[in-house]
């Protein structure tokens, strides 16, 4: 930089040409004395030696911003270099996506992954419930405290709270993989403790009542009932089976129908074979149609609807089979489950004598006859129709005067409080009182059946 002595409007001043001004451009500075100009050059050279040319070209306003942000980092316990290193490791800033947009992508990805329709339906309902009141909120703005409030403020039982929280965790795990969030806030919320109740099972007497009700009221559902109760299949597996997948020795559960996505062969015991033989003879339906409705009917007829536990048929098979054979590996192989799960949940659930009684339940000799009787269409008996309009009322209203149809309708409504439609139907020339109604010149009258016959 060079100092030049100049005269400006008759006044002597000293000019400095700075090639790297504060805004990065060439700049001229004017001073009253040479000493001030020399001091400026000295300070600029010192800044350049200390911080480099780039720093000295930063405008003062930006330097103030930098200083403020450095103070913020210091208060947070960070240095500038540490903050830059963190950004390099974790990439760019998170995209500004709403919760609704992420949920839409999440559900589309799960559907593409080929998950079961039933699971997809449940998952969709769960995350869309979480979305209520948060549709347009950025997913990065959702906190662990907000998730804690969501699962705690709805009056849910611990098992329900746990289920909804797991679904929210799954949603944020997906968002993390897509780099929409840096961390999963739902992991900071503890899973509620759930007391494990023993699996609900049926007694041998209840099993007989259930099978009798199926034969007498819903024979179409018998194949699914016996496959779950005496074969240990999951309800979803049994409902999806076809008769061609049941041979004399095995039930083939194909991979795409199994919950575990693994094919397995379930040996058919003599007891199950006897029941499947009856189910074929009565033309039980496989794959099942409207099984849920038929099961409700069966439970009502067997007087088990109120105390019924989900998956009670499969749980019963597991409990009685393990009590009989004392081999969790064998029971688990039949059910498509793990030995640990069988031992944990079904050990010492029933007494050996109850297990013996359960596995001696065979089809009644008249099963086919009863099922055929159940299939015979029953005439629908309509209850007698109650009406406020009788022959006596009609005769009372119309017998002693001639009324227009509109006047007659009003009179009937006033007399018995019937509906307008009922009054018009009673006065119809083709209605149930047509034998007694007479009309002339727009007026209606009433004659008795005896008078009309004369």
- Alpha carbon 201 to its chain's center: 26
Mention every residue, 6+ apart, whose C-beta is less than 8 A from residue 161: 151, 152, 192
Please give the model's pTM, rounded to 2 decimal places. Answer: 0.59
Q: What is the DSSP letter of 337?
A: -
Query: Where in the chain are the domains?
Result: 3-90, 99-188, 204-375, 391-453
**Predicted confidence pLDDT, tens digits, the chain (454 residues):** 778 888 877 788 888 877 766 555 677 888 888 888 888 888 777 766 665 555 556 677 787 888 888 888 889 888 888 888 777 776 666 788 999 999 999 999 999 998 888 889 999 999 999 999 999 999 999 999 999 999 998 889 998 999 999 999 999 999 999 999 989 999 999 999 887 777 788 999 999 999 999 999 999 999 999 999 999 999 999 999 999 999 999 999 999 888 888 899 999 999 999 999 999 999 999 999 999 999 999 999 999 998 898 889 999 999 999 889 888 898 888 888 888 888 777 776 788 899 999 999 999 999 999 999 998 887 776 665 667 788 888 888 887 777 898 999 999 999 888 889 888 888 888 888 888 888 888 888 888 766 555 4
Are 99-188 and 204-375 the same fold in CATH?
Answer: no
- Domain 99-188 falls under CATH 1.10.150.130: yes
Number of Cβ within a 10 Å radius of residue 95: 14
* Phi (first) and psi of residue 290, to 5 degrees: 55, 45
In this predicted structure, what is the pLDDT of residue 90?
67
pLDDT of residue 143: 94
Distance (Å, whole) CA 128 – CA 146: 16
User: Could you tell me which CATH number the domain at 204-375 has?
Assistant: 1.10.443
d(Cα 352, Cα 333) in Å, to the nearest integer?
Answer: 21
Position 87 scores a pLDDT of: 74
């Amino acid at each position: 930089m060079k100092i030049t002595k100049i005269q400006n409007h008759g006044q002597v001043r000293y000019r400095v040409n700075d090639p790297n001004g504060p805004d990065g451009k060439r700049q001229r500075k004017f001073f009253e004395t040479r000493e001030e100009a020399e001091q400026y050059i000295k300070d600029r050279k010192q800044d350049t030696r200390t911080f480099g040319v780039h720093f000295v070209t930063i405008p003062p306003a930006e330097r103030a911003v930098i200083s403020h942000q450095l103070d913020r980092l210091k208060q947070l316990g960070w240095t500038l270099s540490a903050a830059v290193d963190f950004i390099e490791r974790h990439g760019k800033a998170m995209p500004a996506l709403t919760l609704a947009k992420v949920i839409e992508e999440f559900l589309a990805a799960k559907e593409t992954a080929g998950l079961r329709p039933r699971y997809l339906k449940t998952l969709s309902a769960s995350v869309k419930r979480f979305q209520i009141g948060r549709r347009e909120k950025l997913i990065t703005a959702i906190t662990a405290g907000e998730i804690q409030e969501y699962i705690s403020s709805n009056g849910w039982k611990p098992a329900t709270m746990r289920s909804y929280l797991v679904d929210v965790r799954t949603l944020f795990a997906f968002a993390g993989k897509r780099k929409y969030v840096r961390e999963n806030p739902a992991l900071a919320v503890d899973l509620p403790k759930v007391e494990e109740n023993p699996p609900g099972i049926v007694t041998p007497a209840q099993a007989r009542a259930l099978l009798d009700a199926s034969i007498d009221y819903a024979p179409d559902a018998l194949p699914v009932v016996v496959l779950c109760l005496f074969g240990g299949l999951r309800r979803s597996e049994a409902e999806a089976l076809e008769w061609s997948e049941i041979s004399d020795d095995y039930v083939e559960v194909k991979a795409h129908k199994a919950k575990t996505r693994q094919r397995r062969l379930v040996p058919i015991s003599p007891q199950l074979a006897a029941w499947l033989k009856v189910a074929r003879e009565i033309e039980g339906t496989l794959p099942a149609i409207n099984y849920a409705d038929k099961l409700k009917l069966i439970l009502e007829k067997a007087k088990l609807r109120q105390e019924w536990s989900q998956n009670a048929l499969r749980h019963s098979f597991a409990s009685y089979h393990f009590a009989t054979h004392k081999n969790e590996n064998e029971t688990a192989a039949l059910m498509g489950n793990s030995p640990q799960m069988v031992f944990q949940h079904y050990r010492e659930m029933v007494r050996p004598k109850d297990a013996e009684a359960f596995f001696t339940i065979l089809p009644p000799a008249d099963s086919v006859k009863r099922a055929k009787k159940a299939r015979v269409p029953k005439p629908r008996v309509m209850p007698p129709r109650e009406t406020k309009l009788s022959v006596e009322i009609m005769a009372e209203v119309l017998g002693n005067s001639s009324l227009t149809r509109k006047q007659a309708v009003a009179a009937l409504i006033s007399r018995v409080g019937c509906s307008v439609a009922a009054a018009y139907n009673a006065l119809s020339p083709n209605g149930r009182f047509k034998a007694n109604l007479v009309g002339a010149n727009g007026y209606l009258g009433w004659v008795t059946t005896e008078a009309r016959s004369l």
